[in-house]
Amino acid sequence: MRLRRPRWSGRLSLTQQVALLSLVPIVALGFILAHVLETQILTRTLADADQSAQLIARMGIQPRLSPRDLRQGLTPAGIRTLDEQLSNRQVSRDLARIKIWNQQHTVIYSDLHGLIGRTLAASDDLANTLAGRPNAAQLITPSAHNETAGEVGLGQLVEVYVPLRFAATGRPAGAFEIYLSYRPIAATVARDQRTIVLLVAIGLGLLWGVLYRIVARASRRLRGQARENYDLAHYDQLTGLPNRTLFIDGVTKAVDREESGPGAVAVLLIDLDRFTEINGTLGNANGDAVLREVARRLSGDLDNGTLAARLGGDEFAVLCPGTRGISGAQTVAAAVQASLEAPIVLDGVALDVEASIGIAVMGVHAGDPDLLLQRADAALAHARLRCSRVEVYTEECNRFDARRLMLLGEVRGALERGEFILVYQPQFDLPTRSVTGVEALVRWRHPEHGLLSPSDFIPLVEQTALIGPLTLNVIDQALCQMVAWRRRGIDLDMAVNLSARNLLDPALPGQVADLLARHGIAAARLTVEVTESAAMVDPDRAIAVLRALRASGVGVSIDDFGTGNASIGYLASLPANEIKIDRSFVTEILADARAEAIVRATIDLARNLGLTVVAEGIETEAVIEHLISLGCETGQGYLLSRPLAADRLTASLTASFGLAPAGPRAPATLST
Ligand code: C2E
Ligand code: MG
Ligand code: MG
């Protein structure tokens, strides 16, 4: 299943929108500028035309006229002179028509000779000019209905009135009415306009281009930032997998689509076993490398339709949108286990990584995504506690999950009410079958749930600081029992179990010494059992605590030997005086050559390191014989005795076993 990042805009990108929107005012500005400049060009051109008309009138014609000509009219010779003057190329080039008026509104000269001598009604402009008032040049289109009737056919014209004066002051003697052809002027105007429009367009185009670049760059940066923020909020930075937020989003979408009907969407929650140990032993950098490799396998090895995510810590999730019910989800879970099967190699060390998986299926176990995840989580908790690797959600998981939480809340009260009790499993000297000591094993006599075994609550309590008081309570009870037995003439060694968290508590050795002193029991009669993995969570602190215990005389036994990941070198560095071979090897010793080899090697190792070796889980006589033949002479197991309540064990010791308890063992010590 592929998750697409969201698109960062609608149909048009931000840059495109800004580009289009900014184009509107820029084009409008272009039009306004072009219009203003066009008007200015026209005004300037008309002013130029006015000037050249005045030049023609004042320099070209007026010197050929006298006040008499205006009063009496021009002689034919005078008319010819003016005709010649006007035929001059310089003058005639722009001139379209000329009329010279006297104050009586009589045309005394015109290039259109038919007008000469005619007296016409004066236009406003002519009257103004004859009165000495200024008149601006203007652009006209001649019309048959007014005084320009004679100019029809000359096209657009620039009309200029110039007063005709012979003296510097007083009313003009007459007026020139001059029409210049607009065509050459229009050509100049058009050329200038073209140049201006081109320059304006280039300028605004450049402005728009710069603006576009700025916006495009800012928009690119914004998009980059948005993508980065999205990634930070939706992807796990260590593994690159989707995080919880995106996973929940994916589940919701898959449920909404429900392409293949109910039971199609399943969620697998995956938790790596012993990851805390890996982190503690190999360091955080290697822990990170493990998480990255697991992520790579989950996203690479599984079917393409699945979506893998890291929910946090060592918890991963897989969303399977196309599973057909529970069996389909179980197939995916098997694929997950298979993909984690190959050891992860870190700095040349092959590491086996195992995972617990909780499964919940939509439509079967839950009706909405939230509940689906909750159910998968309850199934995972169940799988972890039952060490069953894969659990599909059942009602029991939920009850169990709720019970787990309730149990945790009840531990403190249970300690005060004395609900934690001990049973004792004897350890035997195998050749003589004499009891050498006992291992104290805790039980919770719960008022509602009955007698709970350690696996029901120790893994829970271990995760909290309450394991401290619980352990001290167990040791206290065990020592009490030793005193009680001693009063009855039964002298036994005592072994108690410690949790990983106890080994991180530097106060523990002092507290144990206090308890021993209070009960008047020699430290050498007490042994603490620690598993390899517990000692590996924080090896330095664990070794310091164990050394202090050993220094005070308390025995240290490595419990469940052979099941952890500790190296022989590390185990040899532990200040222990005893090894307890795990029952999984002991029970299989006759059936499985590998188990037998491990037991044999462990016994050899213990002998060479000067440690006592104890076999646990002895269930048959044949196993006892074999252990003796291999050199292991101490053991415990259901065959010899199940763990028993103190009074029953007392009775057995004195009656059924009929054996006098052996004296104290002298603990062998590993150099510390
Ligand atoms: P462990 O220390 O390895 O204890 C031995 C476990 O093996 C006991 O289970 C015992 O009943 C069982 N066992 C003994 N002989 C046989 C046998 O022949 N066959 C089989 N199949 N099992 C046998 P139990 O009492 O359920 O304890 C389980 C684990 O709980 C212990 O394993 C120990 O790790 C932990 N535990 C027990 N009591 C305490 C305690 O007071 N504190 C802490 N921290 N852990 C405890
Ligand atoms: Mg034990
Ligand atoms: Mg054990």
| Helix, strand, coil % in the chain, rounded to nearest 5 | 50, 20, 30
Percent of the chain clearing pLDDT 90 (strictly above): 41
Q: How far is the CA of 518 from the centre of ligand 1 (A)?
A: 27
**Mean pLDDT lowest among 16-25, 283-292, 606-615:** 16-25
Q: How far is the CA of 397 from the centre of ligand 2 (A)?
A: 28
Residues with Cβ within 8 Å of residue 372, at least 6 apart in sequence: 251, 255, 265, 267, 360, 361, 362, 365, 366
Q: Are 429 and 662 in contact (CB under 8 A)?
A: yes
pLDDT given for residue 255 in this prediction:
82
- Dihedral, 16, 17, 18, 21 alpha carbons, nearest 10: 120
Q: In this structure, is residue 237 part of a structural domain?
A: no
* CATH number of the domain enclosing 322: 3.30.70.270
Q: Which of 188, 205, 223 is the last residue of a domain?
A: 188
Q: Are 441 and 423 in contact (CB under 8 A)?
A: yes
Q: Are 373 and 362 in contact (CB under 8 A)?
A: no
Using alpha carbons, select from 557, 419, 581 the residue that is nearest to residue 496.
Answer: 557
Both 505 and 594 in one domain: the answer is yes
Kindly state the average pLDDT of the residues 7-27.
73
pLDDT given for residue 444 in this prediction:
95
Q: How far apart are CA 73 and CA 67, in angstroms?
A: 10
Which one of 40-44, 299-303, 394-398, 620-624 scores highest in mean pLDDT?
Answer: 620-624
Number of domains in the chain: 3
Q: In this structure, is residue 61 part of a structural domain?
A: yes
Q: How far apart are CA 389 and CA 454, in angstroms?
A: 19
Both 383 and 425 in one domain: the answer is no
Both 429 and 370 in one domain: the answer is no
Q: In this structure, is residue 657 part of a structural domain?
A: no
| Secondary element (H or E) of residue 434 | strand 434-446
Kindly state the average pLDDT of the residues 514-543.
92
Could you read off the pLDDT of 145-189 as tens digits, one per residue?
777 777 778 788 888 999 988 887 778 999 999 988 888 778 877
pLDDT given for residue 523 in this prediction:
98
* CATH number of the domain enclosing 128: 3.30.450.20
- The amino acid present at 332, given as its one-letter code, is V
Q: Which ligand is nearest to the CA of 466?
A: 1
- The residue whose two tokens read 């620039």 is 158
Token couple for 185: 């002027």
Q: Which long-range contacts (CB under 8 A, 24 or more apart) does 120-123 make?
A: 120/147, 121/147, 123/147
Q: Which of 142, 168, 188 is the last residue of a domain?
A: 188
* pLDDT of 316 over the 80 cut: yes
Indicate the top mutation candidate among 421, 425, 441 to test ligand 1's pocket, ranked by most ligand atoms within 8 A of CB. Answer: 441
Indicate the top mutation candidate among 508, 561, 616, 620 to test ligand 1's pocket, ranked by most ligand atoms within 8 A of CB. Answer: 616
Query: Which atom of ligand 1 has the smallest separation from the CA of 643?
Result: 11
Could you read off the pLDDT of 458-476 as tens digits, one per residue?
988 887 889 999 999 999 9
Both 354 and 436 in one domain: the answer is no
For residue 6, name the pLDDT band (cuts at 50, 70, 90).
low
CA atoms within 13 A on the CB side of 275: 22
For residue 484, name the pLDDT band (cuts at 50, 70, 90).
very high
Helices (H) and strands (E) in the chain, counts: 22, 22
**507 against 670, higher pLDDT:** 507
Both 436 and 525 in one domain: the answer is yes
pLDDT given for residue 254 in this prediction:
84
Both 29 and 155 in one domain: the answer is yes
- What's this model's pTM, rounded to 2 decimal places? 0.53
Using alpha carbons, select from 158, 178, 8, 17 the residue that is nearest to residue 97.
Answer: 178
pLDDT given for residue 661 in this prediction:
43
| Secondary element (H or E) of residue 465 | none
Percent of the chain clearing pLDDT 70 (strictly above): 93
Q: Which ligand is nearest to the CA of 440?
A: 1
* pLDDT of 55 over the 80 cut: yes
Q: In this structure, is residue 314 part of a structural domain?
A: yes
Q: In this structure, is residue 316 part of a structural domain?
A: yes
Query: Which atom of ligand 1 has the smallest separation from the CA of 616?
Result: 15
Q: How far is the CA of 638 from the centre of ligand 2 (A)?
A: 14
Query: Which atom of ligand 1 has the smallest separation from the CA of 423?
Result: 25
pLDDT given for residue 235 in this prediction:
93
Residue of the CA atom closest to atom 8 of ligand 1 = 441
Could you read off the pLDDT of 203-241 as tens digits, one per residue?
888 888 888 888 888 888 888 888 888 878 889 999 999
Q: How far apart are CA 205 and CA 407, in angstroms?
A: 76
**Mean pLDDT lowest among 60-64, 262-266, 358-362, 655-659:** 655-659
Q: How far apart are CA 478 and CA 475, in angstroms?
A: 5
Q: How far is the CA of 526 from the centre of ligand 3 (A)?
A: 16
Q: In this structure, is residue 193 part of a structural domain?
A: no
Query: Which atom of ligand 1 has the smallest separation from the CA of 529?
Result: 2
DSSP codes of every residue in 520-578: T--GGGEEEEEEHHHHHSSHHHHHHHHHHHHHTT-EEEEEEETSS---HHHHHHS--SE
**Domain, as residue range, for 609:** 417-647
Q: In this structure, is residue 371 part of a structural domain?
A: yes
Residue of the CA atom closest to atom 3 of ligand 1 = 560
Q: How far is the CA of 474 from the centre of ligand 1 (A)?
A: 14
**Cα-only R_g, the chain:** 55
pLDDT given for residue 667 in this prediction:
28
Token couple for 638: 């259901």
Distance between alpha carbon 140 and the CA centroid of its chain, in Å?
A: 74
Both 364 and 467 in one domain: the answer is no
Using alpha carbons, select from 464, 438, 253 the residue that is nearest to residue 362.
Answer: 253
pLDDT given for residue 671 in this prediction:
24
Both 144 and 291 in one domain: the answer is no
Query: Which atom of ligand 1 has the smallest separation from the CA of 498?
Result: 44
Q: How far is the CA of 392 from the centre of ligand 2 (A)?
A: 31
Q: In this structure, is residue 508 part of a structural domain?
A: yes
**Mean pLDDT lowest among 139-148, 316-325, 501-510, 577-586:** 139-148
Using alpha carbons, select from 436, 506, 447, 519 the residue that is nearest to residue 477.
Answer: 519
Neighbours of 76 (CB within 10 A): 8
Residue of the CA atom closest to atom 33 of ligand 1 = 497
**Mean pLDDT lowest among 179-193, 423-437, 598-612, 624-638:** 179-193
Q: Which ligand is nearest to the CA of 441?
A: 1
pLDDT given for residue 231 in this prediction:
78
Both 470 and 616 in one domain: the answer is yes
Both 360 and 450 in one domain: the answer is no
Both 618 and 485 in one domain: the answer is yes
Q: How far is the CA of 637 from the centre of ligand 2 (A)?
A: 12
Which of left, alpha, beta for 122 (phi over 0: left; psi -120 to 50: alpha)? beta
Q: Are 525 and 664 in contact (CB under 8 A)?
A: yes
For residue 451, name the pLDDT band (cuts at 50, 70, 90).
very high
Q: Which ligand is nearest to the CA of 470?
A: 1
pLDDT given for residue 487 in this prediction:
93
pLDDT given for residue 611 in this prediction:
94
Query: Which atom of ligand 1 has the smallest separation from the CA of 467?
Result: 44
Q: How far apart are CA 211 and CA 536, in angstroms?
A: 64
Query: Which atom of ligand 1 has the smallest separation from the CA of 531?
Result: 34
Ligand 1 contacts (CB < 6 A) are: 425, 441-442, 453-454, 458, 474, 497-499, 529, 559-560, 583, 616-619, 636-638, 643
Q: How far is the CA of 643 from the centre of ligand 3 (A)?
A: 13
Q: How far apart are CA 462 and CA 477, in angstroms?
A: 19
pLDDT given for residue 257 in this prediction:
77
pLDDT given for residue 657 in this prediction:
46
Q: Which ligand is nearest to the CA of 387?
A: 1
Neighbours of 90 (CB within 10 A): 9
Helices 508-519/467-487 angle, 10° precision: 20
pLDDT given for residue 47 in this prediction:
86
Residue of the CA atom closest to atom 43 of ligand 1 = 497
Both 452 and 590 in one domain: the answer is yes
Query: Which atom of ligand 1 has the smallest separation from the CA of 474?
Result: 41
Q: Are 516 and 522 in contact (CB under 8 A)?
A: yes
* pLDDT of 663 over the 70 cut: no
Residue environment code for 623-657, b if the CB has 16+ CB neighbours within 10 A, otherwise e: bbebbeebebbbbbbebbbebbebeebbebbeeeb
pLDDT given for residue 665 in this prediction:
37
Q: How far is the CA of 636 from the centre of ligand 1 (A)?
A: 11
Residue of the CA atom closest to atom 27 of ligand 1 = 454
Q: Which of 149, 166, 188 is the last residue of a domain?
A: 188
Q: Which ligand is nearest to the CA of 636?
A: 1
Q: How far is the CA of 542 from the centre of ligand 1 (A)?
A: 21
* CATH number of the domain enclosing 632: 3.20.20.450
